[in-house]
Amino acid sequence: MYKKYIKRFLDLFLSVAGIIIVSPVLLITAMTIKIDSKGPIIFKQKRLGQYGKEFYIYKFRTMCVGAENMGSKQYSYKADPRITRVGRVLRATSIDELPQLVNILKSDMSLIGFRPPLTYHPYKFDEYTEEQKEMFKLKPGITGWAQIHGRKGLNWSDRISMNVWYAKNVSFKVDIIIFFTTVWKVLLNKDNVNVEKTV
């Protein structure tokens, strides 16, 4: 009941409410991105979603145009020179993730689930084991069990194992824990490897 109906209702309610509440932030962010650097305001990238279906994830652009063709890194890292000045602030505050509220409205994502991986990294969908594919039975999320237990500091094996655990244990109680822990970590800026530490 919760997984099939209540979770989707909460996703719709919270995403609509979220968009309304943060609309001034969305507008100001869009303006600053446009002023700061050339390129689109929104960054779109193909990711793997529920049952391995590909979809476009939306984020505020935090990198310079053509960043994916610069170097061999699929994902960003601390002190990544491809990140713009405004982008560093957006990543530090997680504001860059807010456009994914639209992904939730489109039913591509859920508020809570596994973070959708690239279509080719760490594996193509067919290369995941049957056990690992358990996580794909749910929709990917803006945050999840792995995110509150280390985020990008975890290696892929541990991340996937935590995603599988969540898929098998999803409940209202677990989602509440993830939601409020995420809010707390964002406010404290914990486990964010994209943030440079000053000496």
Q: Structural domain boundaries of the chain?
A: 2-188
pLDDT at 195: 47
User: What stretches of the chain adopt beta strand conformation (E)?
Assistant: 42-48, 54-60, 110-112, 141-143
- The pLDDT value recorded for residue 199 is 28
Q: 156-192: b or e for each residue (b if 16 or more CB lie within 10 Å)? A: eeebbbbbbbbbeebeeeebeebbebbeebbeeeebb
- Rounded CA-CA distance 121/98 in Å is 23
* Residues in the chain, pLDDT under 70: 68-79, 190-199
What's the pLDDT at 123?
Answer: 96
Q: What is the pTM of this model?
A: 0.87
Query: Which residues sit opposite 188 in a β-bridge?
Result: none
**What pLDDT was estimated at residue 152?**
73
Nearest alpha carbon to residue 98 among 30, 17, 26: 26
Nearest to 4 by CA among 170, 150, 184: 170
Say whether 10 sits in a helix, a strand or coil. helix
Nearest alpha-carbon partner for 166 in 193, 189, 132, 196: 132
What pLDDT digit, counting tens, does each position of 107-125 carry? Answer: 999 999 999 999 999 999 9
